[in-house]
Amino acid sequence: MQSRSDRRQFLTGGAAMAAALAAPDLRGVLESKLPAPLRSLVPGEALEAVGLIGEIAQLEQQAKALRLPASPLSFHEGQLQVSPDQLYQIAMPRLVALIDRSERRAPLLAERAGGLLAKLHRSEYDPPDAWFGESLSSPASAQANAGLSFPSAYRPARLAAPLLPEEVEPQPVITGPIELPGTTPPPIETALPPVTTAIKFDALADEYAAWFAAARLRPEYKESTDWHLAQMKQARPRYERLGKRFAIPWAFIAAIHGLEASFNFRAHLHNGDFPLSQRTRQVPAGRPSVWLPPSDWESSAADALRLLGFAGQSDWSVPRMLHRLEAYNGFGYRRAGRASPYLWSFSSLYSRGKFVADGKFDPNARSKQCGGAVMLKLLDLAGELG
């Protein structure tokens, strides 16, 4: 049986071979020009990666032909050779940059980029437990959830596989004080507390503070985390305008937008559903209930924030924001003693293990999204979190 590493190399090789045939429609070239025996050896994932990158390259060429201004979010523009394992990390920023440069001057191009970004987002997205009725442990949650149209088949809360002894990594150590408001700095060289199975905020506040202080950015993701910081700063005015309406910090909205919609301003904040000219189709379906008019991102995002009970909350400390993010996504990782990639992906506190399609847990899968806590950490390190 082919090993996982062999399969990854095979996928990468398939993508590289296909990308070498660079053309406006790379997938079409593969399917029509390659001999059938050779075409059958190229994995479907590689074909899909090549097809998507080919479409992105086409849009980038159109943007140049229209002489659209360059975006400060530009990322690997024009690159054709992309491993399927890196597809999300390369393609997502390129599509966000396309939307940014075309939204005002070429809305049809922006809409095409938004559609591709929504499709890409589904490859990494597994609906959070909150949309299936799991409590968010906030005073407003019960009232907010009362308006939700949950799917007819209720999905139980997800639960990851227990952490095996061989998966346990050396326990990180805090090498300095935790500089968070309202917390008591621990002594230097204090061992980081392990993941506990508790889910109430009061039992987790100190853990969140300690983990946030101890988190370090993984160097292999530096290019991606630099881009995430640039994107959040670029969109800050838009997030701030929305946040002021509901007394929600702009940074929290930015993190939700990245995780739930891959920063797609042409899709619904609830789940990344596209287009905004229609209500959501995936859970929560049929949102916003009053729609067309309006049909703008801000109005849809306001509906999502109200539904989840985030509007009007008073405590927005870092530990509280981390608890709201984890509660929204679900405590399935925590209940198994695992660090949640929804918070800690791209940091030293997470290595592998992820819920994939249909709530199934894969202990070897790695999240390709930057975690919410890591996004907040990026802003904190840049002096932008306050």
Tell me the per-residue pLDDT of 153-194, one tens digit each, with 9 for 90 and over.
467 788 888 877 666 665 555 555 545 554 454 444 567 888
pLDDT at 353: 94
Please choose, from the candidates 87, 72, 130, the residue with its C-alpha nearest in 3D space to the C-alpha of residue 260: 130
Check: CB of residue 340 under 8 Å from CB of residue 334.
yes
Distance CA 216, CA 377 (A): 9
Which residue shows structure tokens 């980081």?
192
pLDDT surpassing 70 at residue 107? yes
For the record, the structure tokens of 201 come out as 């905020």
Core vs surface per residue 141-179: b (16+ CB within 10 A) or e? beebbeebeeeeeebeebbbeebeeeeeeeeeebeeebe
Instruction: Give the tens place of pLDDT for each residue, 12-22.
Output: 444 444 444 44
For the record, the structure tokens of 30 come out as 């593969």
Please choose, from the candidates 322, 100, 67, 362, the residue with its C-alpha nearest in 3D space to the C-alpha of residue 209: 322
Check: CB of residue 96 under 8 Å from CB of residue 117.
yes
Distance CA 187, CA 174 (A): 9
HEC sequence for 34-87: CCHHHHCCCCHHHHHHHHHHHHHHHHHHHHHHCCCCCCCCCCCCCCCCCCHHHH
pLDDT confidence bin for 132, thresholds 50/70/90: confident
Please choose, from the candidates 299, 317, 290, 312, the residue with its C-alpha nearest in 3D space to the C-alpha of residue 241: 299
pLDDT at 162: 81
Distance CA 320, CA 351 (A): 24
Mean pLDDT of the chain, nearest integer: 83
pLDDT surpassing 90 at residue 256? yes
Residue-range domain boundaries for the chain: 18-124, 201-382
